[in-house]
A = this chain, B = another copy of it.
Amino acid sequence: MIIILRSQAADEEIHAVEQRIRDMGLEPHVSKGIQRTVIGAIGDESKVDKEALEALNGVEKVVRVMKPYKIVSRDSHNAETVIDVSGVPIGGNTIQIIAGPCSVETPEQMEQSAKAVAEAGCRLMRGGAFKPRTSPYTFQGVGVEGLEMFQKAAKAHHLPIVTELMDVRMLDTFLEHNVDVIQIGTRNMQNFDLLKEVGKVHTPVILKRGMSATISEWLMAAEYIAASGNHNIIFCERGVRSFETAYRNMLDVTAISVLKRETHLPVIIDPSHAGGKAWMVPSLSRAAIAAGADGLLIEIHPRPTEAWCDADQALSPNQLNELMVELKGIAQVIGRDL
Contact = CB atoms under 8 A, between A and B. Distances in A.
A173 interface: no
B215 A212 contact: no
A220 B133 CA distance: 10
A313 interface: yes
A193 B247 CA distance: 28
Nearest to A256: B283
Contact of A168 (B52, B137, B167, B243): B167
Given A135-B68, A290-B289, A51 B284 contact: no
Interface residues of A, number: 110
A311 interface: yes
Contacts of A227: 136-137
Contact of A280 (B63, B168, B258, B305): B258
User: Which residue, of A240, A332, A333, has the highest number of chain B Cβ atoms within 10 A?
Assistant: A333
Contact of A224 (B34, B136, B215, B257): B136
User: How many identical chains are in the complex?
Assistant: 4
B312 A51 contact: yes
A49 interface: yes
Contact of A242 (B34, B187, B243, B261): B243
Given A257-B279, A333-B329, A212 B192 contact: no
A243 B240 CA distance: 10
A309 B49 contact: yes
Interface stretch (A36-44, A88-96, A110-118, A142-150): A36-44
Contact of A215 (B196, B244, B252, B334): B244
B305 A55 contact: yes
B188 A191 contact: yes
A168 B168 contact: yes
Given A304-B55, A311-B49, A312-B54, A190 B275 contact: no
Contact of A31 (B29, B49, B224, B284): B29
A111 to B, nearest CB: 22
A212 B214 contact: no
A166 interface: yes
A224 B34 CA distance: 25
5 contacts: A137-B227, A241-B243, A251-B253, A251-B254, A287-B288
Given A135-B220, A215-B246, 8 more contacts: A2-B63, A55-B307, A211-B212, A244-B252, A244-B255, A246-B258, A326-B334, A330-B333
